[in-house]
Amino acid sequence: MKRVLVGLVVAAAAATAGAVAALSMGGTSDRHAAPSPPPQATAQIVRGDLADAVSLSGKIIFAGEWAVRGQTAGTVTALAAPGRTLRQGQVLYRVDREPVVLMYGRLPLYRPLRQGVKDGPDVRQLETALKALGHGKDVTVDDRFSWATARAVRGWQKRAGLPQTGVVNAEQVVFLPSKVRIAKADVAVGDSVSPGRRLFTVTGTDRLVHLALDVADQSMARKGAKVRVELPDGRTVAGKVVMVGDVATSREGIAVIDVGVRLAKVRRGFADQTPVTVQLESVSRRDVLSVPVEALLATADGGYGLEIGGRVVPIKTGVYGGGRVEISGPGLEAGMKVGVPTE
């Protein structure tokens, strides 16, 4: 993983010559200063934020993945093609020409639903789907399978080309959270299937960028954080962290967590697993004075100094970021010129 440091700084107004003179004259002992050759370049002390950033390789993926398994024995006579997007009410596949239809919901259809069945959230889920599909004008969406629910089921079955029994089971319906994209087929038309056999894999339709982030950089991937994403065509777009894993895994001997980034604008045009580069950024210090790292001079007592007005002035260093370093010391002000050795 390639690490890149980016410093965000806000330049301040240039300091007056009087400020430089005051620093040169005041309270700095010669025994702390080391002689320095006249520099051939200068830089300004600036006030602003220092930030660390890490540049990571990621991939565009489709969020969510589910396996669709057969619930009846027979022969596959139709199957949605890979890459196709299906919405509620559409046919996922057919076995012996009988359709299996997609409905929206998070609970699997784990029991037949009919009049007299015990109340439960799976009934509410079915009634919600029936209403969305235009059935069940008289249905009250609740946990009870009523006569009105049974009538709505028969109306839906008639339109779907199913036997009008008023009973819904897993041989007729697959519940998934939302519209889905067929990612991969595990069977083909003409194959024999049995209950439990994997038929195909589906994903959601929202594109995310997936990252494997070193746990050492975990603090940079807070949920809601803004990021920049470089696309294969050279464009750079905004993104936002929408998912941060809470369990670390080992990849190539490095402990990483999964991070998901949603792109702000780019929705189409890039295939699954398209590689991208993501820059995560974290502000290390706010509103501090800083200089280029190259401006630091080693002093005789093992510390650091800056060449200001022909003298080496001892300073204290803080955090580093983007080739700059936080500095502090008496008399330092934004806008002062410091020497930068050229060798």
pLDDT digits (tens, 9 = 90+) for 307-333: 998 899 999 998 887 788 999 999 999
- 323 Rama class: left (phi>0) / alpha (psi -120 to 50) / beta: left
Picking from 234, 190, 188, 199, the residue whose alpha carbon sits closest to that of residue 69 is: 199
State the DSSP string of 18-31. HHHHHHHHSS--GG
Q: Whole-number mean pLDDT of the chain?
A: 84
What was the pLDDT predicted at 280? 80
- What does the pLDDT read at residue 149? 97
Residue 286 has a pLDDT of: 85
Q: How many CB atoms lie within 10 A of CB 310?
A: 11
Question: Does the pLDDT at position 31 exceed 70?
Answer: no
* Start and end residues for every CATH 2.40.420 domain found in the chain: 3-53+285-339
Superfamily for the 206-279 domain: Efflux pump adaptor protein, beta barrel domain (2.40.30.170)
List, by residue range, all CATH 1.10.101.10 domains of the chain. Answer: 65-203
pLDDT confidence of residue 269: 60
Q: What is the mean pLDDT of residues 166-194?
A: 95
User: What is the model's pTM?
Assistant: 0.61
How many whole angstroms separate alpha carbon 190 and alpha carbon 243? 40
- The predicted pLDDT at position 192 comes to 95
Report the percent of the chain where pLDDT is more than 70.
Answer: 85
* In the block, residue with structure tokens 């604008």: 265
Superfamily of structural domain 65-203: PGBD-like superfamily/PGBD (1.10.101.10)
- Could you give the residue range(s) of every CATH 2.40.30.170 domain in the chain? 206-279
How confident is the model over 128-159, as pLDDT tens digits? 999 999 998 899 999 999 999 999 999 999 99
Please report the pLDDT score of residue 231 as a whole number: 85
- Its CATH architecture, for the domain 3-53+285-339, is Beta Barrel (2.40)
Output the pLDDT for position 55.
Answer: 80
Q: For the residues 75-88, what does the mean pLDDT come to?
A: 94
Tell me the pLDDT band of 222, cut-offs 50, 70 and 90: confident
Of the listed ranges 9-13, 60-64, 147-151, 212-216, the one predicted with least confidence: 9-13
How many angstroms separate the CA atoms of 266 and 276, rounded? 12
Instruction: With a cut of 60, say whether residue 53 has pLDDT above it.
Output: yes
Q: Which residues of 76-89 are buried (b: 16+ CB within 10 A; e: fewer)?
A: beebbeeeeebebb
pLDDT digit string, tens, across residues 92-120: 999 999 999 999 999 999 999 999 999 99
Separation between Cα atoms, residue 143 and residue 334, nearest integer Å = 68
pLDDT value at position 27? Answer: 45
CA–CA distance, 12 with 48 (Å, rounded to integer): 8
Give tens-digit pLDDT for 17-30: 344 434 444 444 44
Q: Answer whether residue 226 shows pLDDT above 70.
A: yes
Rounded Cα distance between 181 and 165, Å, is 30
Q: Cα dihedral angle (42, 20, 317, 45), rounded to 10 degrees?
A: -50
Question: At CB < 8 A and 24+ separation, what contacts does 18-23 make?
Answer: 19/331, 19/333, 19/335, 19/336, 20/308, 20/309, 20/336, 20/337, 21/309, 22/331, 23/308, 23/309, 23/313, 23/330, 23/331, 23/332, 23/336
* Residue of 160, 126, 165 whose CA lies nearest to 142: 126
Give the SS3 label for residue 45.
coil
